[in-house]
Structure 1
Amino acid sequence: MHQTTLSQNLLGLRKAEAIYDRVVQLSDLIFRDEALVNKQEHLQELTFLLQGVKGTDTILTIFNHRTYLPELQVGQEEFWGLLPNETKDERMKNVLSILHKDYAAFPYESVNWLADIFPKIPYEDRLNMKVHHCCMRFIRADDKQIRLFSQGVPVQVDENRNFRYTLNYIQNIQHLIKKDFTSYWIRISYGQNSELVQTFHSGSKDSSKRDLLSTREKEVLLLIAEDLDTKEIAQRLFISVNTVGNHRSNMIDRLGARDTTALVQLAKMTGMI
């Protein structure tokens, strides 16, 4: 039994290393090589920020977009659980080794998408950027399930407003996601008032400048968040009760939310409502 587990772990590490090497190649297409300035100050800030959310389900990290490595991290041991003894360069490979097979394409697929869309964003629109990744599933050595939610904001950019480093807030949202949801999605917001978006959904391989939720769906969801029931929402929006129900079901299915309460929380966490 022990030998089987060991073989499985070694196989997972080899796959993770191959995925990681490909991600590094892709990241070089878009990101620049610059040193992180004020490193100690950033570490102190991260440590301070994490005190408000300290626990086993949150990490704060500064991520280097040239090396595709976390430059600084706080809370990673509690979050990922027991991983092999490692250097900083090995951490991402070890983390990828516990990525569930349903999400094996996530690392290079997501970086490839970012490398494709980011150069097409005009310089003047590269403001107030936030990058959200959601739903990727990991299984720790102790069998604890992790559903990853990450919000990244740039803390250092180059002269063309390409990311050098991002500050990432990473959270386990296992309690918000359906157990059988096998997709992930990414949402980037940017612009003067964060009014512009680009999205990717792995279930449909859909890349779009439209949001993950339509304008009408957001209207319905805002009223749900105000605690209106289905009949009240239908009356407010002059639509049928069945239409309200269809909108709710479609939103839950698309975002992978466990229920309506989780749906509202996910939409708020990403700024969709």
Structure 2
Amino acid sequence: MLIGLSSYSFPWAVGIPGYVPTQPLTHDGLLERAIAWNVSAVQFGDNLPLDVLSVDEWKALRSKAEANGIQLEVGMRGLKPVNLKTYIRLAWEARSPFLRVVIDEGDFQPTVDEVMAIIKEKLPALRQAGVMLGIENHDRFSRRDLANIARKTDSDWVGFCVDTTNSMGAGESVLDVLDALTFLKVVNLHLKDFRAQRIESKMGFHVEGCEPGTGLLNIQNLLYDRKTYQLNKQDRPITLTLEQWPPFRNTLDETIAMELAWAEKGIQWIKQAITDLPK
């Protein structure tokens, strides 16, 4: 197992619509944190896209990662042929073992059949680049939809980045999702802790992110689970990537500071969980 940071480890520092920091976290800044915290991988998601870099900036980022023994992982949003063409090339240049994809983008919300048609069109490019497609679970697609997409396209080249919270919107737990994907390829786990509290009326729940290790995500049970053990029998090591949903706190600066502190604790949380795995 590899331990990784992501641009979604620091969503407030990168910036979200309506909340742009004075000095947003940059591509190089994210890589520097990975170096300082001694992690093995850095994932650049759609909130810190790689296609905006100049040729020289992109070359420098790759060289710096290689010099420090860090695996670059490439991510994108919007499963459109034009996006895939660009990002398959970037993943190949980065030697990224997979291309993490969030299918939907704004009004672009393809059906399962449309998703499969797009993937089939791009399979030759994925194979030629040696890059696996890593589809991220989101609440619009059930675990059965995801499994069918892989099985009906090419499960050797279509795998998954499984987020521990996203499928709650589909009424599914992360273990439900992993169970459906057993014997398919899961290349990445997004470890995101959360809590759920009843709203004041008691008729419903409020779900939000929390400090890693203090919420409802039992990382020990997840990593001990037989489904997760199965992942380690694959031909590619799985990356355990820290992601966060930090709630806003008074000011943007205060929120970013909290997010940074949580992330540092989160990496230690993951490292300790791996250390505690039975040998």
Larger Rg: 1
Query: RCO (CA 8 Å, sep 6+): is it higher in 1 or 2?
Result: 2
Q: TM-score, normalised by structure 2?
A: 0.26
Q: TM-score, normalised by structure 1?
A: 0.27
